Structure 1
């Protein structure tokens, strides 16, 4: 096959620098997605119908269209809509965060509904306000139940972050592609990029299981 991994050895530090770019995008997008996901989930279970309709419409749009399309609309469409060009790094965080919120909202909503109704009835009997009950009683219990699903979403976000290469973000994939272009040999650097993503996912999976065990012990 004529494979020669030794030729990319000098470029390995350059490719590895993309890890921090990828992790920063995933982290900030995850924070945005989680915060917005909580709000959307509360809208969905709210007795105020327009809020539920708004949250459902949001989820339908972002779950029903490709993430790469959302990324390109935000990045390439920003000059036409906003009058200025959003930076690739910011566009990646915004698009990933908005997309992740749609999925996380469904996860959190399911977690909230899975909490024993007696918890809510007891809080209402004690005169606890709705928002205080959600924040102090319902959400903490729901988060323990949905932690595996949240970690899966975070892992998916990590893998899907590779599409930011389409708008020029210097992540792992982009750097690997550039190394391949330099040596006119793409298989080796791209396979190395795949190994990096695999190790990142394995690490996140291990950390998620560790966190899950600790939360169970705290019950």
Structure 2
């Protein structure tokens, strides 16, 4: 019987390749999600009823449906309806971006409305436009309060990439499933998969904590 160590060593090249794909999806998706969240968060606190309605609908739809359903919809539903083909990796990036974007949108909204309204009024009385007041006065203060929530959401989104295995993306979880189907050594393989996820999330979390301490101490 092959030793556990040998099983792990044989599996590592494929698992590391899957980890790189997971990391790639995260690195692309989260900046997109941040931009989506910022824009829809600003729309949600704007004076325009139309913009608020659009942002609210987006957030409610994404938060009200499971990520797995969103992944299937973007990979199977949209291509079937429009008779197009969306690569699995692209569909996965879109799904993670839109999903995380909705939650980040709520983080932005909550952070912005937590700032005293008097600061907006004071800045406007000094002649600043509403946009400049938001950019120079409100957002810098709000983001300091939002950093811990951002870190938490990023960690959740990294874990969510494991769901992308259902559409055939050879990320870390899918790589583990493929290996187990050939050697039936679930204990060793899932143990290593869990350790790799932990290392990725722990490293990014530590990096985010350093940024959080530096940014919030300014």
Structure 1 residue 3, shift from structure 2 partner: 7.9
Q: CA deviation at 1:5?
A: 4.1
SS at structure 1 position matched to 2:185 = coil
* CA RMSD in angstroms, aligned pairs only: 1.6
User: What does residue 149 of structure 1 align with?
Assistant: 149
Deviation of 1:34 after TM superposition, in Å, equals 0.9
Q: Tell whether the 8 Å contact from 1:180 to 1:187 is kept in structure 2 after alignment.
A: no
SS of 1:98's partner is: helix
For 2:117 and 2:31, the matched residues in 1 are separated by: 29
1:95-110 paired onto structure 2 within 5 Å: 95-110=95-110
Q: Which residue of 2 aligns with 1:41?
A: 41
C-alpha deviation, 1:207, in angstroms: 1.5
In the alignment, structure 1 residue 17 sits paired with structure 2 residue 35: no
Number of the residue aligned with 2:61: 61
Q: TM-score, normalised by structure 2?
A: 0.94
Counterpart-to-counterpart distance in 1, 2:183 and 2:211:
42
SS in 1 for 2:174: helix
Counterpart in the other structure of 2:88: 88
Asked if structure 1 preserves the Cα contact closer than 8 Å seen for 2:8 and 2:192, the reply is no
Distance 2:19 2:115 in 1: 38
- Give the corresponding residue for 1:117: 117
Identify the residue that residue 170 of structure 2 maps to in structure 1: 170
Q: Provide TM-score, normalisation by structure 1.
A: 0.93
Structure 2: runs of 5 or more not aligned: none
Report the secondary structure of 1:192's partner residue.
Answer: helix
Q: Using the TM superposition, name which of 13-22 and 66-75 deviates more.
A: 13-22
Q: How many residues align?
A: 217
| Structure 1 residue ranges without an equivalent (≥5) | none
Runs of 4 or more above 6 Å deviation: none
For residues 101-127 of structure 1, what are the alpha-carbon distances to aligned partners after superposition, in whole Å with 9 as ceiling and x for unaligned?
Answer: 110011011111112323212210122
